[in-house]
């Protein structure tokens, strides 16, 4: 009896040790900036702000609450975005020390820390590990949080002029925020992102029943049905999805950014979108025509969707919508 009791006690102590170790790892995630900023006090402020936000998330996951972050570390906008992401999925960071480069954002608009690993606890198995990007103000407060595309360096690694390099940073920033707006169900961001007269083309692949006629059997058994939607129609559909889908995750891959030859403020972005939601998944090419005339409030004038695979083969790049497929007379 005593032997069994000792084994039981040892088991309890072992489990407790594991729990407290895991808790300690979760509660302490410290940012250390390795390069990118030389201002001592501001560097320390940024490190403290990011570290405090991650601590707040880790502690909230353990306690089953919403994250608590002080006003000295996060702005009102940053708190709103964190709350929206949290409602989609609580997240934690299990890395105790994060050594990262501090990126200067264009037009002296603040700072950015990229590639912060987090676990999204509400995501299905296999999709829980993700990364986030944190934007900070010039004062070093967390101001925005979003999920990155994984071609940041590639998109900026070409031989670019300084003006184009800065604009491409803005393009990436906007596209990453656009992607995360779906994940955090941020209908207000999407309202502002689309111009009032935006051309929005949605699509779906429909399987057709094989025809008994031998000749017709050789024809494609799939067809793509496209629909032109107004901004209101598209956003109303999204509102219904945001309301009814318990889980939603949107990923962007294979991102290509192209500046218009004539209108330098207009960029075309082609990407492969992976849409995961409760009861429905799809993969397709999305094209965005984005106008940066107002750099503080870019506008999407065209958004299209096409399937990645059609009738058993992957669409070629020249079959995917791109910037020169659309007239620019819709841009004021």
Residues 286-310 have pLDDT tens digits of 999 999 999 889 999 999 999 998 8
CA 116 from chain centre, in angstroms, equals: 13
- pLDDT for res 243: 93
Tokens describing residue 160: 């670019």
* For residue 11, pLDDT beyond 50: no
Q: Domains, the chain, ranges and CATH?
A: 25-146 (3.10.450), 180-325 (3.10.450.50)
Lowest mean pLDDT among 136-145, 204-213, 234-243: 204-213
Measured over the CA atoms of residue 94, residue 183, residue 115 and residue 294, the dihedral's sign is negative
pLDDT of residue 328: 73
Residue-wise pLDDT tens digits, 135-152? 999 999 999 999 988 766
3-state secondary structure the chain: CHHHHHHHHHHHHHHHHHHHHHHHHHHCCEEEEEECCCCHHHHHHHHHHHHHHHHHHHHHHHHCCCCCCCCCCECHHHHHHHHHHHHHCCEECCCCEEEEEEEECHHHCCEEEEEEEEEECCCCCCCCEEEEEEEECCCCCEEEEECCCCCHHHHHCCCCCHHHHHHHHHHHHHHHHHHHHHHCCCHHHHHHHEEEEEEEEEEEEEECCCCCCHHHHCCCCEEEEEEEECHHHHHHHHHHHHHHCCCEEEEEEEEEEEECCCCCCEEEEEEEEEEEECCEEEEEEEEEEEECCCCCCCEEEEEEEEECEECCEECCHHHCCCHHHCCCCCCC
Q: What pLDDT digit, counting tens, does each position of 17-48 carry?
A: 444 444 444 568 999 999 999 878 999 999 99
Mean pLDDT of the chain: 84
Q: What is the pLDDT of residues 243-302, one digit of tens each?
A: 998 888 999 998 989 889 888 899 999 999 999 988 888 899 999 999 999 988 999 999
Q: What is the pLDDT of residue 58?
A: 96
Entry pTM: 0.78
% of the chain exceeding 90 in pLDDT: 56
pLDDT tens digits along 149-187: 876 666 666 655 546 778 888 899 999 999 999 999 999
What's phi and psi for 225, nearest 5 deg? -105, 115
Beta bridge partners of 224: 205
């Amino acid at each position: 009896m005593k032997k069994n009791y000792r084994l039981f006690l040892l088991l309890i102590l072992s489990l407790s040790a594991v729990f407290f170790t895991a808790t300690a790892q979760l509660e302490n995630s410290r940012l250390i900036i390795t390069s990118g900023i030389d201002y001592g006090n501001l560097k320390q402020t940024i490190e403290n702000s990011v570290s405090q936000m991650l601590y707040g998330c880790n502690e909230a996951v353990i306690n089953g609450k919403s994250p608590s972050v002080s006003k000295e570390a996060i702005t009102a906008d940053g708190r709103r975005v964190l709350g929206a992401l949290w409602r989609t999925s609580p997240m934690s960071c299990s890395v105790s020390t994060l050594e990262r480069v501090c990126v200067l954002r264009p037009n002296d608009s603040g700072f950015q820390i990229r590639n912060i690993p987090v676990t999204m606890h509400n995501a299905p198995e296999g999709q829980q590990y993700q990364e986030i990007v944190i934007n900070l103000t010039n004062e070093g407060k967390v101001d925005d949080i979003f999920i990155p595309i994984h071609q940041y360096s590639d998109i900026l690694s070409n031989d670019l002029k300084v003006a184009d390099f800065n604009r491409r940073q803005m393009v990436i920033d906007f596209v990453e925020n656009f992607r995360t707006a779906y994940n955090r169900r941020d209908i207000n961001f999407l309202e502002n992102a689309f111009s009032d007269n935006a051309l929005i083309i949605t699509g779906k692949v429909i399987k057709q029943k094989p025809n008994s006629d031998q000749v017709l059997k050789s024809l494609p058994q799939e067809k793509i049905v496209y629909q032109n939607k107004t901004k209101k129609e598209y956003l109303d559909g999204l509102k219904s999805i945001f309301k009814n889908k318990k889980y939603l995750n949107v990923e962007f891959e294979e991102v290509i950014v192209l500046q218009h030859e004539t209108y330098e403020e207009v960029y075309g972005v082609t990407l492969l979108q992976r849409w995961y939601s409760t009861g429905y998944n799809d993969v397709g090419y999305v094209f965005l025509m984005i106008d940066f005339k107002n750099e503080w409030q870019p506008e999407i004038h065209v958004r299209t969707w096409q399937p990645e695979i059609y009738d058993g083969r992957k669409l070629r790049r020249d079959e995917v919508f791109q910037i020169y497929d659309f007239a620019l007379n819709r841009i004021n």
